[in-house]
Amino acid sequence: MLYLVHMVVNIPASVPAEEAARIKAAEKAYSQQLQESGQWPHLWRVVGEYANYSVFDVASNDELHNTLSQLPLFPYMQITVTPLAKHPSSIR
Ligand SMILES: O=C(O)CC1=CCC(=O)O1
């Protein structure tokens, strides 16, 4: 199943810079693991924002929730999920 996921990151100023850097490095490693496995086929920066639009390819709502909730930045993100279905006019 495909899901469009919008993530907006907001790390509070109260989080020390070194801790923020550690969380971002962990996020990068985890996201690249999921990209390599095919579960996170698209990751796009929103121009001018600390936000991204992503496409996840996972088996179920539960798997997506489990995956997203393990993101190191999860406590600092607003996440919006849109389930995707095949468009009848799509040639792919
Ligand atoms: O920077 C972001 O948009 C949040 C994020 C997702 C994967 C990653 O490495 O950072």
Atom of ligand 1 nearest to the CA of 27: 9
Would you state the pLDDT for residue 61? 98
Q: What is the pLDDT of residues 56-82, one digit of tens each?
A: 999 999 999 999 999 999 999 999 999
Burial of 5 (0-12, 13-18, 19+ CB in 10 A): buried
Would you state the pLDDT for residue 60? 98
ipTM above 0.85, yes or no: yes
| Residue located via tokens 């009848």 | 88
Q: What is the pLDDT of residues 11-64, one digit of tens each?
A: 999 999 999 999 999 999 999 999 999 999 999 999 999 999 999 999 999 999
Structural domains in the chain, CATH included, are: 2-84 (3.30.70.1060)
Taking the centre of ligand 1 as the mean of its atom positions, its distance from the CA of residue 87, in whole angstroms, is 28
pTM of the model: 0.96
Taking the centre of ligand 1 as the mean of its atom positions, its distance from the CA of residue 65, in whole angstroms, is 16
